[in-house]
Structure 1
Amino acid sequence: MLVLALDTATPAVTVALHDGTAVLAESRQVDARRHGELLLPAVHRVLAEAGVRLGAVTDIVAGVGPGPYTGLRVGLATADAFGAALGVPVRGLCTLDGIAYEAVRAGGLAEPFVVATDARRKEVYWARYEPGGPGGVTRVAGPAVDRPADIAERVAGLPVAGAGAALYPEVLGGAARPGLPEHQSAGALAALAAEKLAAGESATGEPAAGAFLPNRPLYLRRPDARVPANYKVVTPR
């Protein structure tokens, strides 16, 4: 098993290679405006560091969001292109699930918590989790997109992983925990995927929390860029 995982649903452009036992190499660069420029060099760098040819990859896993329109599609289109070229399966995972997995495994959370990432427009993408279940974490609410004030009562007192805690500390400060991930890690996403693959899970397309998903964007709302409803009519004098 050689799982190539990538995620561009958050400001972090992140890529990792996992052999079913451990992460062989990982790259993460935080830049919300350069997803398209940074992703392919990151893939090349990860493969070179691991000493693996792209043709040896057996599975592609991509974070499907939720995330902003343009950045998210960079990762999904790249995953689809690799899958088609290599003839290997392309599976999606909720980006928030990857952050939650790292929060439990690396951050040591052993209680209910929230993952919240920047959705722009003064909103956050968020989901609530509990330790336990497949992969060591279970999503029990979300993903959803809301203003922080609108979910204040639902997340009160809970630790919060993801950039939302730093962006809206007055609402999402919760029970502060040092060491919780702020951005996505493709290494965590790859490790979660490797566990699911080892357990025999396939891409079902079902909306069950934590399940593999089709490699399709999870937007939760319409994109910011829209075609104008009315065009200005220009007539000659």
Structure 2
Amino acid sequence: MLLLALDTATPAVTAALHDGTDVVAAHSQVDARRHGELLLPAVDRVLAEAGARLSDVTAVVAGVGPGPYTGLRVGLMTAETFGLALGVPVHGLCTLDGLAHESGLTGPFVVATDARRKEVYWARYETSGDAGNAGNTDGSAATVTRIGEPAVDRPAEIAAEVAGLPAVGAGALLYPDTFTDARGPEHVSAAALASLAAHRLAAGEELLPPRPLYLRRPDAQVPKNYKVVTPK
């Protein structure tokens, strides 16, 4: 098994390889405006670091967000293209789940990423099992369970729901008045996604389809009253 993981749902452009036992290579670079430029070089870098070729990959997993429209599509379209070219399955994972897996937190906590427009993408989590292993990237972490579906809201609107809970992610760090116990990691890593995917696949769990989780309409909109030009 050689699992290639990608995520572009946050400002981090991140790729990793997992051999079914552990993460064998990982690379992340934070640049919110260059997802398309940086992702393929990141894939090349982790393949070289692992001494592998793209043809060695047996499955691909991509973070499905929630995230901004353009950046999110880069990772998902790249994953789908790899899957089609290699003839291997492509799986999706919620990006917030990857951050939760990586956080090392125990008990109830929150993950919140920056949704722009003064909003956050967020979800609540609970941890069970061996809390001492939480946050590992070898698939042995405690079970971290998301409570409900991810949402997008203004921080002030969810203050009562997240009050007093530890919180990770860039969204939590941006709004300390709401997330009073905010901490890192700031962005998801593909290493965390890869280990979480490998763990769930080994347990026989079905992962998400590689479809984007937008939660709202894209920023770019077709003008409502644009002038129609017709040939004379």
Shift of 1:59: 0.8
Q: Contact 2:173–2:182 (CA<8 Å) still a contact in 1?
A: no
Q: Contact 1:135–1:195 (CA<8 Å) still a contact in 2?
A: no
Q: Deviations over 1:101-122 (max 9, x none)?
A: 0013xxxx11100000000000
In structure 2, the CA distance between the partners of 1:176 and 1:124, relative to structure 1 (3 Å rule), is closer
The one-letter amino acid paired with 2:62 is: A
The one-letter amino acid paired with 1:110 is: T
Which one of the candidate residues 166, 169, 188 is aligned to 1:162? 169
Helix, strand or coil at the partner of 1:27: strand
Q: Does 1:113 align with 2:109?
A: yes
Shift of 1:132: 2.1
Q: Contact 2:80–2:90 (CA<8 Å) still a contact in 1?
A: yes
- 135-144 vs 48-57, greater mean Cα deviation: 135-144
Once residues 74 and 233 of structure 1 are traced to their aligned partners in structure 2, the CA distance between those partners, rounded to angstroms, is 32
Once residues 128 and 101 of structure 2 are traced to their aligned partners in structure 1, the CA distance between those partners, rounded to angstroms, is 10
Identity %: 75
Equivalent residue runs for 1:170-189 within 5 Å: 170-173=177-180, 175-176=181-182, 180-189=184-193
In structure 2, the CA distance between the partners of 1:229 and 1:85, relative to structure 1 (3 Å rule), is same
Once residues 101 and 73 of structure 1 are traced to their aligned partners in structure 2, the CA distance between those partners, rounded to angstroms, is 23
Q: Does 1:150 align with 2:146?
A: no
Q: Does 1:230 align with 2:218?
A: no
Q: Contact 1:135–1:192 (CA<8 Å) still a contact in 2?
A: no
Once residues 130 and 123 of structure 1 are traced to their aligned partners in structure 2, the CA distance between those partners, rounded to angstroms, is 23
Once residues 176 and 122 of structure 1 are traced to their aligned partners in structure 2, the CA distance between those partners, rounded to angstroms, is 17
> Unpaired runs of 5+ in structure 1?
203-211
Once residues 93 and 71 of structure 2 are traced to their aligned partners in structure 1, the CA distance between those partners, rounded to angstroms, is 16
> Which residue pairs with 1:97 in the alignment?
97
Equivalent residue runs for 1:209-220 within 5 Å: 212-220=207-215
Aligned residues: 220
Helix, strand or coil at the partner of 2:48: helix
Q: Deviations over 1:127-160 (max 9, x none)?
A: 0000027962000133000000000000000001
Q: Deviations over 1:149-186 (max 9, x none)?
A: 0000000000011001221111112x355xx3110110
Q: Contact 1:135–1:196 (CA<8 Å) still a contact in 2?
A: no
CA-atom RMSD in angstroms: 1.6
> Which residue pairs with 1:196 in the alignment?
200
Once residues 182 and 10 of structure 2 are traced to their aligned partners in structure 1, the CA distance between those partners, rounded to angstroms, is 22
Question: TM-score scaled to structure 1, two decimals?
Answer: 0.89
Once residues 93 and 129 of structure 1 are traced to their aligned partners in structure 2, the CA distance between those partners, rounded to angstroms, is 15
Structure 1 runs (4+) greater than 3 angstroms displaced: none
Q: Deviations over 1:64-84 (max 9, x none)?
A: 000000000000000000000
Q: Deviations over 1:205-231 (max 9, x none)?
A: xxxxxxx11101000000000111111
Q: Contact 2:127–2:142 (CA<8 Å) still a contact in 1?
A: no
The one-letter amino acid paired with 2:17 is: L
Once residues 228 and 61 of structure 2 are traced to their aligned partners in structure 1, the CA distance between those partners, rounded to angstroms, is 47
Helix, strand or coil at the partner of 2:178: helix
Question: TM-score scaled to structure 2, two decimals?
Answer: 0.91
> Which residue pairs with 1:6 in the alignment?
6
Q: Does 1:86 align with 2:93?
A: no
> Which residue pairs with 2:133 in the alignment?
none
Once residues 82 and 165 of structure 2 are traced to their aligned partners in structure 1, the CA distance between those partners, rounded to angstroms, is 39
Q: Does 1:140 align with 2:161?
A: no
